[in-house]
Amino acid sequence: MAEKKIKIIIAKPGLDGHDRGAKVVARALVEAGMEVVYLGLRQTPESIVNAALEEDADVVGLSILSGAHMTHFKRVKELMDKNGLGDRLLTGGGIIPTKDQDKLKDLGVGKVFGPGDDLQSIVDYIRKWRGSQGD
Amino acid sequence: MDKKAWEKKFRNSGLREADFSTISGRPLEPLYDWDDLADLNLKKELAYPGEYPYTRGVHPSMYRGKLWTMRQFAGMGTPQQTNQRYKFLLEKGQTGLSVAFDNPTLYGWDSDHALSIGEVGRTGVAVDTMEDMEILFDEIPLDKVSTSMTINAPASWIFAMFLANAEKRHIPFAELRGTLQNDILKEYIAQKEWIFPPEPHLRLITDLMAFCADHVPQWNTISISGYHIREAGSTAAQELAFTLADGFAYVEHALRAGLDIDDFAPRLSFFFNAHLDFFEEIAKLRAARRIWARHMKERFKAKNPRSWLCRFHVQTAGCSLTAQQPELNIVRTALEALAGVLGGCQSLHTNSMDEALALPSEKAVEIALRTQQVIAFESGAANVIDPLGGSYFVEKLTNELEEEAERYFRKIEEHGGVVPAIEKGFFQREITRAAYEYQMALSRKRKISVGVNEFVNEDERLEIPLLEIDESVEKDQVRRLGEVRKRRDNGAVRAKLEALEKAAAGTANLTPFLLDCARVYGTLGEISAALISVFGEYQEQPFF
């Protein structure tokens, strides 16, 4: 049986219009054989988690370059846990200082990527996470 | 030796395996010579500085007359903190101000809006009412220093607050100098901070042009911006073409509204990116002046030579900065700034080395400003006008960019113009494709980013201090906004908002109505809501 495609929600929470990174990553994930649902701009934590539920997504990726990452990641993680998506991967990227990356890790958020990270490293990370999940 | 003989020697000399195209993927010859310019009437295509078609500069004297304005884009935290940063920059020799607003303000939302949580003061300063303008510009001589404001969707009502504050300080509107970005078309294309559908936004822009022609004559009513298009990932030619196409669209809209071209066109200004590819950027800036002049004179029949001028601000490329080995960003920025100067900019912002990581620290922004001073006073770059004019390579590139822009103009026309092309996602797709191709070129190491995909320092640790925005900023701002709402004459606010709403439903110039709302401390969000009730909101179809 063919392996089920990894399904990923990509979203821009809050008011941040910088969508270059999100779109480039979305394309790279599709090229790598994953299924991407791009929600676009101005998403709320609620709209993102609802989409993840509806799509039964494996991974949620947030792109935040506005400095509001602590607020948004925390809220999305809480809502994912509350809605039975605690076993799914919450990851993302943007302008996120190392100190805050550590704090996000403590909240249960996965690796957070930044400027200069290679597209392949994102693909590899998601595949590795999936591999560690078993069936 | 003839060219064939040289070419043979060249090929036989052993060539490096490398990508010799520009950062935009433009293929380049190893050498340019007189043959490349053989078909060109140089005297006509270049002319003199200050002479049509202005390829060599908009002023006869360029930097021999006046250096470019050194204008650092700044804003963070509370209006008080930003006011302190402005005073710091002016004290260090900056010659103009440039306001960065936070995200809620850019969207026209108040700091206490439910969706503003976590965003207040993060990427710029929050302005909710005229009171914030009073604090922001406290003790700053608005009649002496020119002020640029990077605001688009709610530009007219932020400007109304600025004007109301000047009025309160008894500074005549006629003495105010500065620029409002006010460029909504590139918001749909690249930066994505809109409120209404295009048509009402275009009306507000045309209204402001008409108002300023009569009352604020030294103000640049719009800064038609390629910067964000480039940051979103476009090529140099796309930046050039899409920006100028936006400019033509504003001109056409104002003409349809019955304005005389020579009344408003002299106050149109531009804003371009200075990216890493040195010569292509210089060529792009030179081409911009020539294309704009030609279209304004020949196509739109402007009579006043001031209407033909493509005057522009340049900012170095934020997207070229790296989080890795951030000190290298000082070097990148210096090269980009030099391209801006050799391209003949009227004002310049240099990015700080830490901007791939956070908003700039005071130390970083001082180095960025000092970089401009080194170029202006040490490098000799400002001594001679258009020093690269006549270079086989630069002239050839200038021509190529002009031709490529003209091809894009035709494509945009085929889509029915700029607004229909936006609605079909034409620009957005072109830019996304270019961004992806560049990222893949980095991935495959066809393009090199020092410290990122080559010359990497393993186990690199960040050793520069970063600016942090304290969480108290949001609380303070929300508290002060609440106090203003209590203190002001709420009956007057309601009356002015109702008058605005009524005017919006009709055809009157909306600027005076916005000014009335600002004078009585109507909030940014209240004014937005009044206009949304008439104009509706814009939704983008997400795609990648």
Sorting pLDDT into bands at 50, 70 and 90, what band is B233?
Answer: very high
Residue B405 has pLDDT above 70, yes or no: yes
The pLDDT assigned to B328 comes to 97
Distances (CA, A) of B472 to A58, A72, B109, B512: 36, 18, 19, 35
* Among the four given CATH numbers 3.30.70.100, 3.20.20.240, 2.40.50.140, 3.40.50.300, the one describing domain B42-443: 3.20.20.240
The pLDDT assigned to A2 comes to 60
A14 interaction partners in chain B (CB closer than 8 Å):
103, 115, 118-119
Interface touch A24/B436, C-beta < 8 Å: yes
Which 3 state secondary structure label does DSSP give B149? strand
Sorting pLDDT into bands at 50, 70 and 90, what band is A10?
Answer: very high
Interface touch A17/B192, C-beta < 8 Å: yes
In chain B, which residue's Cα lies nearest the Cα of A19? B232
Half-sphere exposure of A22 (CA within 13 A, CB side): 28
Q: If DSSP states are collapsed to H, E and C, what string results for B509-530? A: CCHHHHHHHHHCCCCHHHHHHH
Average pLDDT over residues B333-359: 96
CA of A28 vs chain B CAs: smallest distance (Å): 8
CA distance A6 to A58: 6
* Domain chopping of chain B, boundaries: 42-443, 472-535
The pLDDT assigned to B399 comes to 97
Question: Are B46 and B36 spatial neighbours (Cβ–Cβ below 8 Å)?
Answer: no
The pLDDT assigned to B468 comes to 84
Residue B70 has pLDDT above 90, yes or no: yes
CA distance B192 to B510: 24
Residue A1 has pLDDT above 60, yes or no: no
In chain B, which residue's Cα lies nearest the Cα of A29? B544
The set of residues, in sequence order, having a beta carbon less than 8 Å from that of B287 and lying 6+ positions away, is B55, B240, B398, B399, B401, B402, B405
Sorting pLDDT into bands at 50, 70 and 90, what band is A21?
Answer: very high
CA distance B432 to B428: 6
In chain A, which residue's Cα lies nearest the Cα of B188? A17
- Mean residue pLDDT of chain A comes to 93
Average pLDDT over residues A59-79: 94
The pLDDT assigned to B540 comes to 85
Residue in A15, A36, A95 closest to B357 by CB: A95
Sorting pLDDT into bands at 50, 70 and 90, what band is A135?
Answer: low
Each residue's pLDDT tens digit, A26-63: 999 999 999 999 999 999 999 999 999 999 999 999 99
ipTM of the complex: 0.87
Q: In chain B, positions 304-363, which contact chain A (CB-CB < 8 Å)?
A: 319, 321-324, 356-359
Beta strands, E only, B195-275: 219-220, 222-225, 268-274
Average pLDDT over residues B206-227: 96
Interface touch A38/B544, C-beta < 8 Å: yes
Residue A95 has pLDDT above 70, yes or no: yes
- Give the alpha-carbon dihedral of B226, A65, B542, B205, to 10 degrees: -40
Considering chain B, what percentage of its residues have pLDDT values greater than 90?
93
CA distance B523 to B334: 40
DSSP B296: I
Sorting pLDDT into bands at 50, 70 and 90, what band is A116?
Answer: confident
**B194 CB near a chain A CB, below 8 Å?**
no
Interface touch A97/B357, C-beta < 8 Å: yes
- Sheet architecture: strand order including A59-64: A35-43, A7-13, A59-64, A89-94, A112-113
In chain B, which residue's Cα lies nearest the Cα of A120? B443
Interface touch B123/A67, C-beta < 8 Å: yes
DSSP B77: B
Helix residue ranges per DSSP H, B295-381? 328-342, 362-377
Interface touch B544/A22, C-beta < 8 Å: yes
Distances (CA, A) of B543 to A22, A24, B107, B303, B323: 11, 11, 21, 43, 28
Token digits of residue A122: 């994102």
Distances (CA, A) of B207 to B222, B243, B257: 12, 21, 9
* CATH class, A7-132 region: alpha beta
Mutation to test the B interface, candidates A20, A44, A121, A124, most B Cβ within 10 Å: A20
Residue in B107, B232, B442 closest to A15 by CB: B107
Interface touch B436/A36, C-beta < 8 Å: no
- Mean residue pLDDT of chain B comes to 96
Question: Are B98 and B72 spatial neighbours (Cβ–Cβ below 8 Å)?
Answer: yes
Residue A114 has pLDDT above 80, yes or no: yes
A95 interaction partners in chain B (CB closer than 8 Å):
356-358
Sorting pLDDT into bands at 50, 70 and 90, what band is A87?
Answer: very high
CA of A135 vs chain B CAs: smallest distance (Å): 31
Residue B214 has pLDDT above 70, yes or no: yes
Token digits of residue A29: 């994930």
Q: In chain B, positions 25-44, which contact chain A (CB-CB < 8 Å)?
A: none
Each residue's pLDDT tens digit, B431-466: 999 999 999 999 999 999 999 999 999 888 877 888
A124 interaction partners in chain B (CB closer than 8 Å):
none
- B188 — phi, psi (to 5°)? -65, -35
Place of tokens 């949620």: A60
Residue B410 has pLDDT above 70, yes or no: yes
Q: What angle do CA B462, B79, B527 make, to 5 degrees?
A: 120
Each residue's pLDDT tens digit, B131-187: 999 999 999 999 999 999 999 999 999 999 999 999 999 999 999 999 999 999 999
Mutation to test the A interface, candidates B119, B152, B225, most A Cβ within 10 Å: B119
Burial class (CB in 10 A: 0-12, 13-18, 19+), B20: exposed
Residue B344 has pLDDT above 90, yes or no: yes
The pLDDT assigned to B263 comes to 95
The pLDDT assigned to B454 comes to 95
Interface touch B103/A66, C-beta < 8 Å: yes
The residue type found at B99 is V
B462 interaction partners in chain A (CB closer than 8 Å):
98
Q: For B459, left (φ over 0), alpha (ψ -120 to 50), or beta? A: left
Interface touch A67/B122, C-beta < 8 Å: yes
Question: Are A58 and A5 spatial neighbours (Cβ–Cβ below 8 Å)?
Answer: no
B119 interaction partners in chain A (CB closer than 8 Å):
14-15, 66-68, 71
**B462 CB near a chain A CB, below 8 Å?**
yes
Closest CA to B293 of B244, B253, B336: B244
CA distance B520 to B117: 26
